[in-house]
Structure 1
Amino acid sequence: MYICLEGIDGSGKTTQIKLLESWIQKCGIDVLRVFEPTDNEVGKLIRKLLQNPDAINENFQITLALLFAADRTVLMRDITEAEALAKIVISDRSFYSSMVYQNDSEWIAEINKHAKQPDLVILLDINPETAVSRCDGMDSFEEQNFLASTAKKYLELADHQNFMVVNANNGINKVHDDIKRIVAHKLGMCI
């Protein structure tokens, strides 16, 4: 199974993925944790470019969208191999991030048509003010108005894609419990 946590910067994805990974492993299931951008050369280039103040302009966005699609294609190999070994794959982001962070969702869908769709997407919905307070301010996307717009796009996408939405304004433990319930139900497990 391929599980993806989505949400704006500062929503708590990294923390919740680590907690989810630990919980699933305690249940006796092997886990592969992945993230976008990856640690490969394309992913490293993306991380560097995200720190550029111009990263949010339209031309820069086209470049980033193409790089994310390339990075994702490489990541698909790891996901497919892990699933073949009956591992649960937990991802910090997927192509849905590109759908909300970059413009022109039809084109984004086209360049990501080879990306594997997650079996379960959990959207961590958080107040943009809270999210910004958690960010380190290292990249151009960690700005309140931009994150508010992106959060709105996520919720619109969630309605059409049947994401499971979790209120990430709650405390870490409450959010983790909500995620565990969703995953346990999907996997047919007891909490």
Structure 2
Amino acid sequence: MYICLEGIDGSGKSTQILLLEEWLNKCGFEVMRVFEPTDSDIGRLIRKMLRDPDATGENFQKTLALLFAADRMVLMDEIEAAEQSGKIVISDRCFYSSIVYQNDPSWLYELNKFVKIPDMVILLDLDVETALKRCDGKDSFENKAFLEKIRERYLELARKNDFFVINANNGINKICEDIKKVISPKIGRCI
């Protein structure tokens, strides 16, 4: 099973992924955590570019989308191998992030047509004011107007797809319990 957690910056994806991994391990599952961008050469370049003040510009965004697609393809073999060995893969973001961060995402579906679609997407929805308080402010994307636009795009994407939307304004433990309630029926054990 391939599970992806999505959400705006500061929504708690990293924290919840660690808690989810711990819980799944206690349930007897082997887990592989992945994240986008990865630690590959491409992923490191993306991280560097995300800190550029011009990172929200349209051409810059298209370049990032292309790099994310390449980075994602590097990750596909790892995800497929983990699944074949019976592991549950938990991802911090997937190609849906590229979809919401682009002004014209239509071309991204074609660009990402070879990547694996997660079996389950959990959107951690958080109000922008709280998200900004949680962010370190180093990325160009961590500003109110931009995050509001991205949050709306995530919610729209969730309505069009079978995403599970979790209220990330709650406390860490409540969010974790809400995620477990969504996943438990899919894995067939451990509530």
TM-score of the aligned structures, taking structure 2 as reference length: 0.99
Counterpart in the other structure of 1:84: 84
Counterpart in the other structure of 1:147: 147
Distance, in Å, in 1 between the alignment partners of 2:135 and 2:67 is 23
Kindly provide the amino acid, as one letter, of the partner of residue 5 in structure 1: L
CA-atom RMSD, angstroms? 0.6
Helix, strand or coil: the match of 1:82? helix
Distance, in Å, in 2 between the alignment partners of 1:114 and 1:104 is 19
Kindly provide the amino acid, as one letter, of the partner of residue 77 in structure 1: D
Moved more, 165-174 or 95-104: 95-104
Helix, strand or coil: the match of 1:54? coil
Report Cα offsets for 1:42-77 as digits up to 9, x if no partner: 000000000000000001011000000000000001
Kindly provide the amino acid, as one letter, of the partner of residue 125 in structure 1: D
Distance, in Å, in 1 between the alignment partners of 2:91 and 2:128 is 22
Give 1:1-191 correspondences, 5 Å limit.
Answer: 1-191=1-191
Distance, in Å, in 1 between the alignment partners of 2:104 and 2:49 is 20
Percent identity for Structure 1 against Structure 2:
64
Distance, in Å, in 2 between the alignment partners of 1:47 and 1:94 is 15
Distance, in Å, in 1 between the alignment partners of 2:17 and 2:103 is 27
Distance, in Å, in 2 between the alignment partners of 1:3 and 1:175 is 16
Helix, strand or coil: the match of 2:122? strand
Where does structure 2 lack aligned partners over 5 or more consecutive residues? none
Offset, 1:110 = 1.0
TM-score of the aligned structures, taking structure 1 as reference length: 0.99
Report Cα offsets for 1:87-135 as digits up to 9, x if no partner: 0000000000000012211111111111100000000000011001100
Runs of 4+, deviation exceeding 2 Å: none
Where does structure 1 lack aligned partners over 5 or more consecutive residues? none
